[in-house]
Structure 1
Amino acid sequence: HEFQRIVMTLDPETVFPRMGPQRGYPELTISELQNEVLKMQEAGLSPHRPIMEIHRKFSIPVACFIFGLIGLAFGLSNRRDRKISSFVVGIGVIFVYYVWMYVAEAAAKGSLVSPHLAMWLPNLALGLPALFFVWRRVFSVGDRLIPLSWSPITTGQTSSQPVPATQTIGSRDEPRKTGTIFFSPLLPRLNLLDQYVLGHYFKIMVLAFVGMLGIFYIATFIDLSDKLFKGETTAATLLEYFWYATPQYVYYVLPISTLVATLVTIGLITRTSELVVMKACGISLYRVAAPLFFLGIVWSLVLFGLGETILASSNRRAEAIRHVVRGASPQTFDVLNRKWIVAPDGSIYHYTYLDPALQELHGFSIYEFSDSTWALSRRTFVNKATFRDPWAGEGVWVRSFDAGLDVMPYEYVGNTDLTLQPPDFFVTEGPDAERMNFRQLQHYIGDLEASGFNVTQLLVALQRKLSFPFITIVMTLIGIPFAVITGRYGAMYPTGAGLAIAMGYWIMLSVFAAVGAAGLLAPVLAAWAPNILFGAAASYLLLTVRT
């Protein structure tokens, strides 16, 4: 076989034409979208996308009116805690609206719903209940004036009976309520104050955890729903993906939920002046927040245990399922796809495709070098190598090189056995650090270092597996003084502060990870710097806040 050199001349203007960015359908006007509909109909294509975009330009403004009706129906109340509950309801309504919108859009792409109706389904789904709730608000009478509140509002008359003058509330003659107190020598005993604080904490914790976990589920469903409605995947496959993706969602949501629960809990008792009463009774802020700090340690252990047990395997399985849903093959997903590998004897291996299930290497080449000058001495090409102890090569070609680097012709060998490393040398854990636990990543870094790869970025990821679980402790410490400062302004301020702190931490985490991967900081410092900085800020605020 002889190989020739071919020189081709390409015009850059034909490959990279000079033109501005193309406008998408949302940037087009209604008349331009109508023209797109006509063009697609003439070409025999489905014009569902421009049709839906035309209706979207009208349906979203109408949604503003529907949101106003829902806000009117749910916002009329005299409860002190109605502000935070209305905020939660409002966020939920927005999520429901956009879920309906993307589901309807995916259904229209799958020809299950008319594109003329798809963008109006969210308005119908929320508009009809909004009208019903407003009607009940307006036309209900008596104790049904605000039926959606947790407690009814009376009309000038109290439903409770007056307390007799001879009876006093909390009298010593009144018999005490009996109950059972469970005490474990392994856990600190909870007094009445701890139970009261933890009651608020767990309510907010569950609300924040479920809400943010729902955000991940909704966003993922929106992303993959078009595959479901087009028939490219099944509901069972999506449910399986959600099952295996849940540990990663919990890993992300738990720290933010801890921060929000701490901020809102301390903020509420600050807002209602209960913290002032506790201080007047000689109970410091540190004692009030002690159970929250203990739970921060518990959540930290949960994160570490999650990362070292099921998180890595769940991420690998979830990503494999996601590849199947997207139409790709998961066969090589868990493979360290190092197409260039240095062998222990100094040879260099290269392959184009690796099938770990069948233990096959396709397009496999072996580059051998001379011991004295490290000049290329031999190249062996194998069309397919199958491991049968030893490796069996099919379609083997060999080319030798002399000391002057004169190219010798290829020599066809055919089928022959090859002396190579076992399949475990080629098939290792996936290169993504999120799909490995601490020990697996540590072993993987050792393999890469032995092959001469730069592992700085992976060393940062290795240290982050130790530093990240401490985020719940840091968030709890920094949330306590922030809640005392912002809590007096209302329940919404701690929530906003929590979101700002969480965003700041994630930004700092990403920045230091990038700086560490570039080699500008030591991997240990790059991974622990966010915890150190936020922990120092939390310590300063805790020492300066009025306790």
Structure 2
Amino acid sequence: MKIIDRYLLKAIIPSFLISFGFILFLLFMSQIFYLAEIFIARRVPFIIALKILFYLLPSITALSLPLAFMAGVLTGLARLSSDGEIDAMKALGLSPDRIFRPVFMLGLFLWMLSMSFTFWITPAANYRWLQTMVHSVLSRTNLEIEPGLFVESIPRKVIFVEDRSEDGRWRRIFLYQPEEDNKAQIVLARSGALAVVPEKKEALLLLENGQVYGLNFASPEVLILNNFEKLEQTVDLQKLIENYSLEKRAREKSIGELWKDWQEFKNKISSDTFDRRLTLTELNKRFSLPATCLIFVFLGVGLGWRKWPGGRFGAQALSLVVLLIYYVLLIFGEEAAIKGSQPPWLAMWLPNGLIFLFGLYTYFSTFRGEKTFLKFKLKNFKLIAQKIFSARRKSVRINTVYQDRFAFLPKLVDRYIVVRFLKVSILIFAILFLILILMNFFQQLELLKETQKPIRLLFLYIWYKLPEFILYAGLITILVAPCLVFGYLYRHNEISALMTLGISYFRVIFPVVVIIAFLSWPAFVLQDKVISHSNARADEILNIISDRPVKSFTLVSHYWIRNTNDNQYYHYDLLDPLRKKLDRFLVLELDTQSFKLKKIIYATEAQIGRNELKLQSGWIREFKDDSSFYLPFTTTEMRLPQAEKYFIKEWKEPANMTLNELKLYIQDLEKTGYRATRFILEAELRKAFSLSFLVLGMISLASVGLVGRRGFILPLGLSLLGGFIYWESLAIFRSLGITEALPPFLAAWGPQIIFFLAACYFLFNSRT
């Protein structure tokens, strides 16, 4: 290999690897929290969690390789152009054809690598991922009974445990078991435990010193009461495990299996079917997606050879638009092919053909000179740039004249750093934001193809996920942009020149630190006010796409509520919040000393008042010593202060509440005697997470300060490594907080404090 080829590859390959690392890190951000939760909260072995992570890699790699290759070619060639090396090559008589050869060889290698992924590696990994999830994760039952909560995960049982001793035994257990023929059992026990037998896939519910009350709502005058010293009940864990199909779908089949399916469809006499179209579309996609690596060679060399207004940023902005057009065409083409409105081969290859034609035009236009390519637009951009720079020169002269009068204003160095930082940040943010949209779209598109739902639902889902994408793209931008900016300044000895003038490294990075610190407040507002609501709507749409029932979550359940003031349990079958009406309302009042039933009230209907409940068509049974008294009623009134507050309120997931809603909800829970640990943790996480921008920014600046003189590749890699460890620590500490292994404050603020202090330590040890 000649020197020029090695030199070009040396400029392109590091940029390709960094772009590839960006995409992987970005797409794994949301997965890391899930993996930490199943590892800690669901007690899945660590090796299984690593397997799940490993099996996700091939599908993400297959989609990321073309994107990373395009970004690597453009970034590498644009760097050579900005350093004047492309002009030197032109002066030596080198043509774009000479640059094309090594880039084409790299593209050919990546094309073959991508083909191996789409043909064999990705389908096999997808199926292994499905098997691991079904056998090792989804089949696990989490029977952790948390004191202070109504637990309804066990079929046909509702368990409430007031307290738990240090050895893990329960104290003061309430158990409600509905039965057939309008009957129910109420079990009260002073102590108990749950013993899981994994080999038999069952569990034993062991209760001691209690009573069993048998109720018959059809004949309420009849009551069965039994005392017990020990009571054992078997819980069949098989009923807790959903049945998941392990049959291979199109995305889990290798190219050979897809071809075999296609041959079977061809031999069938039946007309065009959904499975036939899906198989043929998937076959064409397995070939067309890797082919983009070859197509992007023409486009990358054509765009990278010429100088653009704005340097590498102008070229990357145009490539961003081209990639967006390509993937939008691919998405709509795939949808049209599955529906049968377009031939699969045309739908999958049309985007490639259009981008290939555009790439050929950009490539061969370089031989005719740069002025013939987009001449009018380049001229306009040049005029705009001249006006901007002339305005900047005027402002520099004005600020120089009044420098002493306005000494508190940002200096020339600050403006220079800020402008460069903002230019790099905006470009990186746009690229990462687009990648998040495209990758999530493709991931959910597989689900949409199976359920055959309209594609507008997927667009609506992505629309509601945009705030979350903005937050994630912003976090990675803050981790990456300082490395690129200050790495560039180190590479061109600008940092050394400033130090020679007596300006320390701390003073140089000061405006960037101010910008990053300022972003913490918008990040908190975005997370608290916008994402909390938009993600709830996105989850509802995803449930519709996947044919899952829309969940209505509540910590204490819509159906069971405890009043600690009167030691009462309330249960109802149906709530009509508009009419303020409860159907089949049941009240169980317990004696605090003996932990026995004191009173049972049942009403077929209850009207909710301000401080009372108006009960209709029911009965009351009071217990005294070993006897009970039964009294039916047509209408009666039950005193309950702030009755509306108990029943009529909007229930949400903690992650879907704002910080103010969480605080109010925590107060309500604590008043009613419930443990609000999960909600306190969510509130602390909400406040602590807003500092992630500052922590990631400090990690990036510390990486540049330590190894910035060795180029921008090493500090960027160090920054990405630090960011990954920090993100993993956030997930682990959060999972430890959920399991109550750590208090909420420490689980939320621990990673922020540790990594902020570590980043400050390394930053202060850098050469200033």
Q: Give TM-score scaled by structure 1 length.
A: 0.75
1:141 aligns with 2:368: yes
Task: Give me the whole-angstrom Cα distance separating, in 1, the residues matched to 2:353 and 2:394.
Answer: 56
User: CA 1:194/1:218 → structure 2, altered by over 3 Å: closer, same or farther?
Assistant: same
1:280 aligns with 2:500: yes
TM-superposition CA deviations, 1:167-202 (whole Å, max 9, x none): xxxxxxx9997447999x999411110010001111
Which shows bigger deviation, 282-291 or 510-519? 510-519
1:299 Cα deviation after fit? 1.0
Partners of 2:613 and 2:638 within 8 A in 1: yes
Partners of 2:516 and 2:693 within 8 A in 1: yes
Task: Give me the whole-angstrom Cα distance separating, in 1, the residues matched to 2:244 and 2:567.
Answer: 49
What does residue 120 of structure 1 align with? Answer: 349
User: CA 1:451/1:268 → structure 2, altered by over 3 Å: closer, same or farther?
Assistant: same
What does residue 169 of structure 1 align with? Answer: none
Task: Give me the whole-angstrom Cα distance separating, in 2, the residues matched to 1:312 and 1:214.
Answer: 22
Letter of the aligned partner of 1:208 in structure 2? I
1:64 aligns with 2:293: yes
1:345 Cα deviation after fit? 1.8
SS of residue in 2 equivalent to 1:508: helix
1:329 Cα deviation after fit? 8.4
1:277 Cα deviation after fit? 0.8
- Among 665, 686, 696, the residue aligned to 1:475: 696
1:207 aligns with 2:427: yes
Task: Give me the whole-angstrom Cα distance separating, in 2, the residues matched to 1:180 and 1:18.
Answer: 72
1:266 aligns with 2:486: yes
The equivalences for 1:172-211 within 5 A come to 178-179=397-398, 188-211=408-431
Partners of 1:217 and 1:242 within 8 A in 2: yes
Letter of the aligned partner of 1:465 in structure 2? R
1:273 Cα deviation after fit? 1.1
The equivalences for 1:388-537 within 5 A come to 391=613, 398=619, 400=621, 421-428=642-649, 430-491=651-712, 493-537=714-758
SS of residue in 1 equivalent to 2:701: helix
Partners of 1:84 and 1:492 within 8 A in 2: no
TM-superposition CA deviations, 1:277-305 (whole Å, max 9, x none): 11111111011011111112211232334
User: CA 1:520/1:408 → structure 2, altered by over 3 Å: closer, same or farther?
Assistant: same
| Identity over aligned pairs, percent | 24
1:538 Cα deviation after fit? 1.1
SS of residue in 1 equivalent to 2:729: helix
Query: Could you say which structure has the higher helix fraction?
Result: 2
Task: Give me the whole-angstrom Cα distance separating, in 2, the residues matched to 1:18 and 1:312.
Answer: 31
Partners of 2:329 and 2:351 within 8 A in 1: yes
What does residue 171 of structure 1 align with? Answer: none
TM-superposition CA deviations, 1:194-215 (whole Å, max 9, x none): 0100011111222223333334
Letter of the aligned partner of 1:304 in structure 2? F
Unaligned 5+ runs, structure 1 = 6-10, 153-173
Query: Could you say which structure has the higher strand fraction?
Result: 2
Partners of 1:336 and 1:430 within 8 A in 2: no
Task: Give me the whole-angstrom Cα distance separating, in 1, the residues matched to 2:710 and 2:281.
Answer: 44
Task: Give me the whole-angstrom Cα distance separating, in 2, the residues matched to 1:212 and 1:445.
Answer: 36
What does residue 254 of structure 1 align with? Answer: 474
Task: Give me the whole-angstrom Cα distance separating, in 2, the residues matched to 1:499 and 1:116.
Answer: 40
1:289 aligns with 2:509: yes
What does residue 25 of structure 1 align with? Answer: 250
1:73 Cα deviation after fit? 2.6
TM-superposition CA deviations, 1:95-144 (whole Å, max 9, x none): 6555543443333444443444333343234333223223323xx32444
Partners of 1:204 and 1:260 within 8 A in 2: no
What does residue 339 of structure 1 align with? Answer: 559
1:132 aligns with 2:338: no
Partners of 2:483 and 2:712 within 8 A in 1: no
Task: Give me the whole-angstrom Cα distance separating, in 1, the residues matched to 2:455 and 2:604.
Answer: 34
1:18 Cα deviation after fit? 12
Which shows bigger deviation, 324-333 or 458-467? 324-333
TM-superposition CA deviations, 1:519-544 (whole Å, max 9, x none): 22222222112112211221221122
Letter of the aligned partner of 1:269 in structure 2? L
Task: Give me the whole-angstrom Cα distance separating, in 2, the residues matched to 1:213 and 1:521.
Answer: 34
What does residue 546 of structure 1 align with? Answer: 767
Task: Give me the whole-angstrom Cα distance separating, in 1, the residues matched to 2:659 and 2:748.
Answer: 14
What does residue 348 of structure 1 align with? Answer: 569
SS of residue in 2 equivalent to 1:365: strand
Task: Give me the whole-angstrom Cα distance separating, in 2, the residues matched to 1:500 and 1:320.
Answer: 35
Letter of the aligned partner of 1:340 in structure 2? W
User: CA 1:188/1:479 → structure 2, altered by over 3 Å: closer, same or farther?
Assistant: farther
Task: Give me the whole-angstrom Cα distance separating, in 1, the residues matched to 2:348 and 2:374.
Answer: 31
User: CA 1:112/1:437 → structure 2, altered by over 3 Å: closer, same or farther?
Assistant: same
Task: Give me the whole-angstrom Cα distance separating, in 2, the residues matched to 1:41 and 1:335.
Answer: 55
Task: Give me the whole-angstrom Cα distance separating, in 2, the residues matched to 1:14 and 1:324.
Answer: 24
- The number of residue pairs the alignment matches comes to 515
User: CA 1:437/1:126 → structure 2, altered by over 3 Å: closer, same or farther?
Assistant: same
SS of residue in 1 equivalent to 2:741: coil
Which shows bigger deviation, 112-121 or 198-207? 112-121
User: CA 1:24/1:530 → structure 2, altered by over 3 Å: closer, same or farther?
Assistant: same
Task: Give me the whole-angstrom Cα distance separating, in 2, the residues matched to 1:456 and 1:40.
Answer: 60
Task: Give me the whole-angstrom Cα distance separating, in 1, the residues matched to 2:407 and 2:538.
Answer: 37
Partners of 1:459 and 1:523 within 8 A in 2: yes
1:106 aligns with 2:335: yes
Unaligned 5+ runs, structure 2 = 1-180, 186-235, 380-392
What does residue 158 of structure 1 align with? Answer: none
1:441 Cα deviation after fit? 1.4
TM-superposition CA deviations, 1:397-423 (whole Å, max 9, x none): 5574857989999x9867776655533
Task: Give me the whole-angstrom Cα distance separating, in 2, the residues matched to 1:530 and 1:15.
Answer: 35
User: CA 1:176/1:15 → structure 2, altered by over 3 Å: closer, same or farther?
Assistant: closer
Letter of the aligned partner of 1:423 in structure 2? E
Partners of 1:336 and 1:427 within 8 A in 2: no
Partners of 1:332 and 1:354 within 8 A in 2: no
Partners of 2:324 and 2:434 within 8 A in 1: no
Task: Give me the whole-angstrom Cα distance separating, in 2, the residues matched to 1:302 and 1:12.
Answer: 46
